[in-house]
Amino acid sequence: MSEPMVAVTEAAARHIQRVLSEKNWPGYGLRFGLQDGGCSGYTYLLDFEAKPDEEDLIHEEKGVKVFIHPMHVPFVQGSVIHYKEEKFQEGFDVQNPNAKRFCGCGESFSV
């Protein structure tokens, strides 16, 4: 059996479902990919979208959909999307086995 494209933790799935419910966005999914930025080259693209693009791969897990452009798959394959709610920080946290180097602030990385 091959490795899943990405994994979504329970905490991330709950957060995604909560946002979609609060905004009344049934059927929306989470866009996951890379975008240029930061001092190390890339940052993660995490945004809610009504529908996938025609060429997108769709990963469904724990009741949520994740849209990934095929061009990004080699760079995010095997990533785990988590959602952290800590005292001073709240937001998505991605563990990506393909990331090689991170900037000092932890916001960007290279692959």
pLDDT band of residue 48 (cuts 50, 70, 90) is very high
pTM score, whole prediction = 0.86
Of the candidates 53, 33, 31, the residue with the CA atom closest to the CA atom of residue 43: 33
Let me know how long the chain is.
111
The full set of domain ranges for the chain reads 6-104
pLDDT at 49 over 50: yes
> What is the pLDDT at residue 88?
82
**Residue with tokens 């959909």, as numbered in its chain:** 65
Domain covering 6-104 in this structure, CATH number = 2.60.300.12
Q: How far is CA 60 from CA 3, 5, 8, 27, in A?
A: 14, 10, 9, 12
pLDDT band of residue 46 (cuts 50, 70, 90) is very high
Type of residue found at 25: W
Type of residue found at 34: L
pLDDT at 16 over 90: yes
Q: Say which residue, 36 or 76, is predicted with more confidence.
A: 76
Contact by Cβ (8 Å): 33, 52: no
Contact by Cβ (8 Å): 44, 66: no
Q: How far apart are CA 78 and CA 98, in angstroms?
A: 8
